[in-house]
Amino acid sequence: MGILSQLLPVVERHPQQVADWLSVRTGQPVRFDTLNTSWTQRGPLLRLQGVRIGPQGRMAIGEVEVLVAMYTGLLPGHSLIELRLRGMALTVHRDSAGRWSVYGLPRDVGGDPLEVLRRLGELQVIGGRLSVDAPSSGVSTTLSQINLRVRVAGDRLRAGVHGWLDSARAPVTGVVDFDRVSGDGDVYVETLPNQLASWSSLLAGVMRGVHLRDGAGHVRAWAQLHRHHVEQVTVQGDLQGVRFEGVRLAGQTVVPRVFWPQLQALVRWQRQGDGWRVVAPRLRMGESGRLQKLDGLVVEGGSFYTVSAPEAVDAGAVMAVLALGDWLAPDLRTWLLRARPQLRVAGLHVQSQADGRLWVAGRVEQLGFLPVVDAPGLSGVRGTLEGDAQGAVLTLDSAASVHFDWPSGFGRRHEIHLAGRIVGWRQGDGWKVATPALRVQAGDYGASLRGGLWFEGHGMLPRISLAVQLDDVAVPVAKRFWVRSKMSRELIDWLNAALVNGSTSGGFALIEGELKDWPFNNHDGYFEAAGRIHGGVMRFQSEWPVLEKLDADIAFIGNGFSIKGRGELAGVPQVQLEAGIEDFEKGDLYVRAHVQSDATRLLGLLRRSPLHQHDADTLDSVSASGPASVSFDMQLPLRHEQGADYGHFGGEVSLENVNFIHRRWNLAFENVRGPVRYSSDGFSAEGLHVLHQGLEGRLSVRVGDAVDDPAQIFQARLLASVNVKSLLRHAPQMDWLRPYVNGISQWRIGIDLAKGAPDAHRVFGHLTLDSDLVGTALNLPVPLDKGSGRVLPAHIDVALPMEQGDIALALGKLVAARVRHREGEGIGVRVVMGSDNVRDAPLEHGLVVIGHSTSLDAIDWMRLVRGGSAVSSDLPLRLIDLQVDSLLLLGGMFPNTRFQLRPVHQGVAVAVDGPALSGQLNVPESIDGTVTGSLGVLHWQAAQAPSVKVSGSVQSAMVDVDPASIPSLAFEVEDAKFGQVKFGRMELRTRHMSDGMQVDQLQTNSPSQRLSMFATWRGKGEAASIRLSARVDSRDLGELAQAIGYGEQLRGGEGQIQLSAGWNGPPVGFQLASLSGDLKVTARNGQLLELKPGAGRVLGLLSVTQLPRRLMLDFRDLFSKGLAFNRFYGEVHFGDGQARADGLKIEGPAVNIAIRGQSDLSTQTFDQIVDVNPKSGNLLTVVGAVAGGPVGAAVGAAANMVLGKPLGAIGAKTYHVSGPWNDPKVEVLNLDSRQRDKPSNSKSENRGGAG
């Protein structure tokens, strides 16, 4: 061997001989560019560069190594020469007939390359590349690197190969033992634990776009060849983490994938006649412990195809992989990928003929698929399947528990049992799936169906035609059937809350139309589900009580529902109801209800409604009874979108003679009639007819947004005739006023409450009361007195709560008051006379009266505030300070007087200051005390004197003075004046009696007049009686006459006037006809003044009776200087409406006159005799005396008869005066001859007629 190794350089120097040697061995011309030799342990190694084989070097091989295996090549089964090729590209090709060929090996032109290998020995390909091309199978891949050893021994070919698709991963090992002549042989391929992703290209063509992206494990395959064809292939594998990727669907960005955590396979394919047969003793994929099995699956193909599996097989995993490829329609692929159908079939047998005939049979043990988008899912279906190419029938196993899962529809999964048959058949280009009778039974509902779906083959959703008959079922079960994808969340929440209880009978459903058009809003289909609810319980709104005992028809039609019937709401029976949703998409719920019931039940309903939030205090304080009806209308949007209308509810309560009681305000209304309108924002009642304490009225109430003033939350208005005493009972602060008011007037009462929660510590509302007070009498001192028929505007404003606010009161411009009452602080009142408002706050406790008054009764005001009165007991006096135009006191009127009252110990201090009255008095608290004090001025003017103008109310107050209310009086006056009579200093002492008063002493003292009087006054008003005894001593009767209004009739004189008389009635209500008693006059040395012609003097009877002054003496210019008298004396007796003069005489220097007879004071007529006796020789003096005397109009009427006589013929005459005072008749009586001249009236005689 050493010698041979030394010969290698010689070989290098003779490359041509080497090329010739190789040409002989290969049978082809061989050329190369360079030759290098080396010695190896196995023998010499020749390295050839630029090798070319064939004529003109058509096959360029590149680098070739030739090893002469001198040691092993001589052994049996070994080649002496090994030909090593590097970088050679080989191609294995399968033609359409199924024959395999190898390209890229050296060969004779048109010869067999394996024959070349036989002559050369063993061929080794190192670092080569192998392409596999089988167009009919869709396989075309390249191994980027292979190491191949091929040895041909006669007809036998043996080969071994390591190949890499990815050099970073373990290779595939293959062994071939093949007879080149017979075409028989065996092939074995094995992969060591490897990443399968690198072999994906081998499946890409076969699987139509399916790529093996991941997986690892061990795969072995055996193939048997016969006559150059594959006769049988057996594959065994155990793989983990197998992941397939498929073709991306149009419009999708995600590549579809299928992942099998584990794949176990033992599959055998073998040729069978003109066909083939696949048997899978073991074929499992999926997760460990949950592998889907296709064990025992047999598939045969050829002129017909059959699939059979005696045991149960799972097809879900296979369908998932099939969905990755593009051999299925896109819609079907999409559904398979998303729904991931699961199918387990036992006893499967499928046979298909070449002519299109098909038979299918099997027992479905599990059929299911997941829900996809808006399509439902199903699982647990079992049954028996039979079919052919035109259709199939699945007879369902009723014992199977089927789960119907529709998340976008029903939401919760339904567990049901199905009984009946489902039939599928070809219809045009599509399929129909329907049932002639299918029974659906769940735990709480059941139904019978007929109809089905039509998949028309255009890739759209199917057309549905279905009729359903529902079993009787509980109402809440309906909550399981809301189609959530077509209904808002708010709508579903409302329906779930609304359907509380009850049962439904006679239910049915009809569906017809394209499912893509569901819910058929455009009349492109029809859907209706209806039934009858019995004993239902529904809650239409969370804030309203539930509707119970509901009997109603309910219907779901199209995209909405309606319900119509009657039930009981919050104890109110027979509520007629209509409700529904016209469009689930818009989600607007409407509810309309009407009920006729008793107000007590309806009020209970309102208390449990949202209206209770607006005015809980009112609803809780009110009780009602009587017939009433309620209508209700609610619109509730169930989609809460930006800017959306949040709906409303409203209605009307019709009251029909309902009785209401408001406990807080202590109000009661009867026979209330009229409508009350309410809404989600409040309620209002306008002009309700009410009966309050038997009197009719009108009531209006507004709450919430129904109010006129947006700052208010509650308003009430009542126009009613109300007893003022009952009205004051509602205001404890005004209770002191109740004894002084009486009557019924029409009042306008208003309540206004501000927004915000009522607060006991702040004012949040007002109560106002307005009236003209017609019908109400005020028994208060002047000027606050008022008769029931008089109009006096009254306005009262009460701040609420009363414990925190004030009460403002105004009676026109007459008086205003402000009342305050605080808990534990008593009542404070401030009164301003002559105003309609009070600006300053009242005291914490007590009464203050200020301001200006046109008139005021001092005694009544003192009585009002004196201790023990209704006012003083609750409202102690603090101050009265008034400027009074006409102050009334004991029948007199005092102008422009300031009147002040202040509390002192056990009494009231009175101060008066005015031109006619000034001074200080102390009035005791008790009526048994004595009013004491002193007055500087007391100019008493009768309140009914002609010169004094007083109002009717003042006169009425004077008449109604109660003398028993006047305490004892004891005071002095420095300057007393009554009328025009000046009496100077005066002392007054009176005594209080239980039924009146007594004047014990009334004395005056002035230089010319002195008065003393004793009197009693008992009783009040028309029941009063007065008795008095008075004496006037006058030093100047002319002054006295002038003071009392007769200043032009008397001058000078002195004397006395004594009166002892009485009458029934008040002092200021004196009527002359009621007078009884005696008047005695004694006067001397005076002069009756002249009478002016036509002056119309009214002398009266002694100026006491104040007779009408129509009779006059008119002796013209004959008597114009008056008449002096020496004495004037006599008596006048009053009684029974008559004034009788007996012995009334006037004695003068020229004439004596005597008057006797009577005057009727009731009818104002005369019946008097006047005797005129002139003294001799002095007629003029007589006539003058008569003209100025006190005989009055009777003498004046007779004077004209004297004028017609000669003066010397005048003598004594007697006259009879009769007739009315305003037109008396005079008759002359001739006492000497006892003849009577013709009567003539004074008017004719005044014109100069004779008598």
Q: In this predicted model, what pLDDT tens digit does every residue of 913-939 receive, in sequence order? A: 999 999 999 988 888 889 999 999 999
- Is residue 203 a contact partner of residue 138, using CB atoms and an 8 Å limit? no
For 251, the token pair is 């419009």
**Residue where the block lists tokens 């007037």:** 745
Over residues 835-842, the mean pLDDT reads 91
Q: Is the dihedral of CA 117, 123, 125, 130 positive or negative?
A: positive
- Is the pLDDT higher at 1041 or at 207? 1041
Residue 471 has pLDDT above 90, yes or no: yes
Residue 1232 has pLDDT above 80, yes or no: no
pLDDT value at residue 958: 56
- Is the pLDDT higher at 734 or at 894? 894
Q: Tell me the C-alpha distance between 270 and 226, whole Å.
A: 11
Tell me the pLDDT band of 1124, cut-offs 50, 70 and 90. confident
395 membership: H or E segment, kind and range: strand 391-396
Strand partners for 236: 220, 266
pLDDT value at residue 647: 67
- Is the pLDDT higher at 1105 or at 18? 18
Cβ contacts of 2 within 8 Å, gap of 6 or more: none
- Is residue 443 a contact partner of residue 403, using CB atoms and an 8 Å limit? no
Strands 499-514 and 463-470: antiparallel
- Is residue 577 a contact partner of residue 564, using CB atoms and an 8 Å limit? yes
Of the candidates 73, 56, 50, 187, the one whose C-alpha atom is nearest the C-alpha of residue 120 is 73
Q: What are the E-state strand segments in 601-666?
A: 622-625, 627-637, 648-662
865 membership: H or E segment, kind and range: helix 858-865
CA-based Rg of the chain, rounded to a whole angstrom? 69
Of the candidates 1114, 1105, 1124, the one whose C-alpha atom is nearest the C-alpha of residue 1166 is 1105
424 membership: H or E segment, kind and range: strand 414-427
SS3 assignment, position 775 = coil
**Residue where the block lists tokens 């100047």:** 1036
How far, in whole angstroms, is CA 1241 from its chain's centroid?
93
SS3 assignment, position 352 = strand
Lowest average pLDDT, out of 379-383, 858-862, 898-902, 1145-1149, goes to 858-862
Looking from the CA of 48 toward its CB, the CA atoms found within 13 Å total 25
Q: Is the dihedral of CA 519, 522, 526, 532 positive or negative?
A: positive
Over residues 384-404, the mean pLDDT reads 92
- Is residue 656 a contact partner of residue 673, using CB atoms and an 8 Å limit? yes
Q: Tell me the C-alpha distance between 1044 and 1032, whole Å.
A: 13
Q: Is the dihedral of CA 992, 998, 999, 1001 positive or negative?
A: negative
Tell me the pLDDT band of 1198, cut-offs 50, 70 and 90. very low
Q: Tell me the C-alpha distance between 1199 and 1205, whole Å.
A: 11
Distances (CA, A) of 158 to 119, 122, 133: 15, 10, 21
pLDDT value at residue 653: 86
Q: Is the dihedral of CA 941, 946, 952, 957 positive or negative?
A: positive
- Is residue 550 a contact partner of residue 565, using CB atoms and an 8 Å limit? yes
For 614, the token pair is 């607006």
SS (H, E, C) 235-292: EEEEEEEEEEECCCCCCCCCCCEEEEEEEEEEEEEEEECCEEEEEEEEEEEEECCEEE
pLDDT value at residue 996: 92
Q: What is the pLDDT of residues 617-653, one digit of tens each?
A: 777 888 888 888 888 888 877 766 544 455 677 888 8
Looking from the CA of 639 toward its CB, the CA atoms found within 13 Å total 14
Strand partners for 56: none
Backbone angles phi, psi at 214, to 5 degrees: -160, 165
**Residue where the block lists tokens 């001025």:** 937
Cβ contacts of 590 within 8 Å, gap of 6 or more: 578, 579, 580, 581, 582, 633, 634, 635, 636
SS3 assignment, position 201 = helix
- Is the pLDDT higher at 986 or at 925? 986
The listed range with the strongest mean pLDDT (393-407, 649-663, 692-706, 719-733) is 393-407
Cβ contacts of 1176 within 8 Å, gap of 6 or more: none
- What mean pLDDT, rounded, does the chain reach? 80
Cβ neighbour number for residue 251 with a 10 Å cutoff: 7
Cβ neighbour number for residue 780 with a 10 Å cutoff: 20
pLDDT value at residue 757: 59
Distances (CA, A) of 483 to 379, 463, 508, 900: 20, 18, 17, 88
Burial of 846-875, coded b for 16+ CB within 10 Å and e otherwise, reads bbbbbbebbbbbbbbbbbbbbbebebbebb
How far, in whole angstroms, is CA 677 from its chain's centroid?
13
For 467, the token pair is 């009729």
Query: DSSP secondary structure string, 953-1017?
Result: HHHHHHHT--GGGS-EEEEEEEEEEETTEEEEEEEEEEEEETTEEEEEEEEEE-SSEEEEEEEEE
- Is residue 771 a contact partner of residue 942, using CB atoms and an 8 Å limit? no
pLDDT value at residue 1206: 38
Tell me the pLDDT band of 22, cut-offs 50, 70 and 90. confident
Angle at 1133 between CA 1127 and CA 1136, to 5 degrees: 160
pLDDT value at residue 106: 59
How far, in whole angstroms, is CA 1166 from its chain's centroid?
87
Question: Which amino acid is present at 919?
Answer: G
Residue 860 has pLDDT above 50, yes or no: yes
Cβ neighbour number for residue 1184 with a 10 Å cutoff: 26
Q: Tell me the C-alpha distance between 1240 and 1066, whole Å.
A: 42
Residue 1109 has pLDDT above 70, yes or no: no
Cβ neighbour number for residue 1094 with a 10 Å cutoff: 10
pLDDT value at residue 459: 60
pLDDT value at residue 336: 84
Strand partners for 536: 550
Q: Tell me the C-alpha distance between 849 and 873, whole Å.
A: 17
Of the chain, the end-to-end C-alpha distance in Å amounts to 220
Q: Is the dihedral of CA 224, 226, 230, 231 positive or negative?
A: negative
Q: Tell me the C-alpha distance between 776 and 791, whole Å.
A: 9
Give the start-to-end residue ranges of the domains of the chain.
Answer: 200-353, 371-455, 714-829, 1071-1246
Over residues 717-722, the mean pLDDT reads 88
Question: Which amino acid is present at 461?
Answer: L
Of the candidates 1139, 1116, 1100, the one whose C-alpha atom is nearest the C-alpha of residue 1221 is 1100
- Is residue 1116 a contact partner of residue 1095, using CB atoms and an 8 Å limit? no
Q: What are the E-state strand segments in 471-571?
A: 473-474, 499-514, 525-538, 547-557, 560-569
For 1131, the token pair is 């008596």
- Is the pLDDT higher at 673 or at 979? 673
Of the candidates 1218, 1203, 1186, the one whose C-alpha atom is nearest the C-alpha of residue 1249 is 1203
- Is residue 563 a contact partner of residue 547, using CB atoms and an 8 Å limit? no
Looking from the CA of 718 toward its CB, the CA atoms found within 13 Å total 23
pLDDT value at residue 438: 94
Q: Tell me the C-alpha distance between 807 and 837, whole Å.
A: 11
Of the candidates 733, 762, 743, 765, the one whose C-alpha atom is nearest the C-alpha of residue 752 is 765
Q: What is the pLDDT of residues 417-440, one digit of tens each?
A: 999 999 999 888 788 999 999 999
Go through the chain and tell me how many residues it has. 1251
Residue 1118 has pLDDT above 50, yes or no: no
Q: Tell me the C-alpha distance between 883 and 877, whole Å.
A: 18
